[in-house]
Amino acid sequence: MTAQQAEPFDAVEVIRAKRDRQTLSPEQIDWVVDAYTRGVVADEQMSALAMAILLNGMDRAEISRWTDAMIASGERMDFSGLTAPDGRVLPTADKHSTGGVGDKITLPLAPLVASYGVAVPQLSGRGLGHTGGTLDKLEAIPGWRADLTNEQMMRQLSEVGAVICAAGSGLAPADKRLYALRDVTGTVEAIPLIASSIMSKKIAEGTGALVLDVKCGSGAFMKDEASARELARTMVDLGRDAGVDTVALLTDMSVPLGLTAGNALEVRESVEVLAGGGPADVVELTVELARAMLAGAGVTDVDPAQNLANGKAMDVWHRMIEAQGGDPRADLPTAAHTEDVVAEADGVLAELDAMAVGLAAWRLGAGRERQGQPVQAGAGVELHVRPGERVARGQKVMTLHTDTPERFARAKAALEGGWAVAEKGEAEAAALRDRSVILDRIG
């Protein structure tokens, strides 16, 4: 008897069931995820199944089982015995963002939450496409390294309280394979697959509390609010089913977050936030995510804005960067070339499209087209004006940064039609300026 004959199901049978809008049984789900991880189900078969899921969906029980099967494909971490050097038990809280342009929030957030005695094990990734990766940003800091062993990570969590490092390959390996496959088969945008992909990794990571930043708008995966809301609800339910205290903030990603998109540029802005300054939207989101993470870990009697103002979060930042070999006081790399984009008329910055800015930063060299490519630490887009602010003809609206000036033309092409200066009354301008980045809270 061959190994193939010993399998309890047949991949084609499972694909046909989902194609014909049937509910997959728990046994079918366990088998197909495991058999794919073992290489028994082929990539072309899993692609067909992913497309059937994208088109026909999954119910809550199917999504939950699929998530569990992906968790079971690898190791689980456990922080339940984590203690500080003085013996205090440390609760843990983590944040996951679905990704957006200028989203540097993890950088000030992790040390801020740790400054209140809650440990933050932040396993992060590198960027692909127009959204930047947290590790690429931190690697702009001279000497900083992303790869830690589990023991190094645990020691840093105990001694410093915060760690941002590369996720090891042992967590949810089924997702690793499936995500790469979805990327090249047009099946990324399926809510059951996104929710199970994110939550399998977060649950396997073993955090006690989890806050999800689910973004919607042009610069996010989810372009409309209804889909973002459905994704948030699905992930919150998955987290709670697994015993993780989970909430989601629904946040706006139609304009970039803050004034920078690009690795070293975003580190600089994060340090401004840790020093008690920085753009209002970055500060608002950092403080609200910190409040939710702290509440999930049982700390409810603090105002997280305080430790940004009094330097305590900055102290943790310094120790967190130093623990991973980085020099938090070193000059950050800058790009060799810059070019300004100026307003052609007087008026108000009425439009600034997150996708256009993200694409421009990517084309300037801040992101990569293929896995494994290097990124330019200094490249990116620096904004001088936020939506709703007045500009005069000839005034700088943004500065483009790159080491390779031949990239300017394509970056400027990405920005065409992505921003506009127009005549606006004061009330309309104020409404644009004062828009909150947080749209809702789910869970």
Q: Which residues are catalytic?
A: 96, 175, 182, 197, 201
Which residue's CB is nearer to ligand URA, number 193 or number 238? 193
Cβ atoms of 399 and 280 within 8 Å: the answer is no
Strand partners, 215: 251
Nearest approach, Cβ of residue 161 and ligand URA (Å) = 25
Strands (E), 10-148: 93-97, 120-124
Structure tokens at 424: 């606006």
Nearest approach, Cβ of residue 176 and ligand URA (Å) = 10
> Considering only residues 33, 113, 148, 198, which one is a binding residue for ligand URA as defined by CB under 6 A?
198
3-state SS of 274-315 is: HCCCCCHHHHHHHHHHHHHHHHHCCCCCCCCHHHHHCCHHHH
CB atoms within 10 A of CB 204: 24
Nearest approach, Cβ of residue 81 and ligand URA (Å) = 27
Which residue's CB is nearer to ligand URA, number 214 or number 285? 214
Interface residues for ligand URA in 157-186 (CB under 6 A)? 179
Which residue's CB is nearer to ligand URA, number 194 or number 264? 194
Asked if 197 interacts with ligand URA (CB under 6 A), we say yes
> Considering only residues 107, 194, 271, 349, which one is a binding residue for ligand URA as defined by CB under 6 A?
194
Site string for ligand URA, 80-109 (x = CB under 6 A): ------------------------------
Which residue's CB is nearer to ligand URA, number 2 or number 371? 371
Query: Which one of 55-63, 193-201, 207-215, 250-258 is the stretch in contact with ligand URA (CB under 6 A)?
Result: 193-201
Asked if 79 interacts with ligand URA (CB under 6 A), we say no
Q: Is the sign of the CA dihedral 405, 406, 407, 408 positive or negative?
A: positive
Cβ atoms of 380 and 401 within 8 Å: the answer is yes
Place of tokens 């706006």: 252
Those residues whose C-beta lies under 8 Å from the C-beta of residue 57, and which sit 6 or more positions away, are 190, 191, 192
Query: Which one of 28-36, 190-198, 299-307, 387-395 is the stretch in contact with ligand URA (CB under 6 A)?
Result: 190-198
Please give the Cα distance from 216 to 280 (Å, whole number).
19
**Nearest Cα to 443, choosing from 252, 234, 282, 283?**
234
∠ CA(58), CA(204), CA(225), 5° rounding?
45
Cβ atoms of 20 and 12 within 8 Å: the answer is no
Which residue's CB is nearer to ligand URA, number 221 or number 408? 221
Those residues whose C-beta lies under 8 Å from the C-beta of residue 86, and which sit 6 or more positions away, are none
Nearest approach, Cβ of residue 310 and ligand URA (Å) = 35
Nearest approach, Cβ of residue 413 and ligand URA (Å) = 27
Which residue's CB is nearer to ligand URA, number 58 or number 198? 198
Cβ atoms of 166 and 159 within 8 Å: the answer is no
Structure tokens at 421: 């200066």
Cβ atoms of 180 and 344 within 8 Å: the answer is no
Which residue's CB is nearer to ligand URA, number 172 or number 299? 172
Strand partners, 210: 94, 246
Nearest approach, Cβ of residue 222 and ligand URA (Å) = 10
Which residue's CB is nearer to ligand URA, number 214 or number 292? 214
Asked if 200 interacts with ligand URA (CB under 6 A), we say no
Nearest approach, Cβ of residue 296 and ligand URA (Å) = 20
Structure tokens at 399: 């500065």
Q: How many residues bind ligand URA (CB under 6 A)?
A: 6
Instruction: State the number of CA atoms in the 13 A half-sphere of 420 facing the CB.
Output: 8
Those residues whose C-beta lies under 8 Å from the C-beta of residue 356, and which sit 6 or more positions away, are 218, 414, 415, 416, 417, 418, 419
Nearest approach, Cβ of residue 111 and ligand URA (Å) = 23
Residue nearest to ligand URA (CB): 197
Question: What is the Cα 260 distance to its own chain's centre?
Answer: 16
Sites of contact with ligand URA (CB under 6 A): 179, 188, 193-194, 197-198
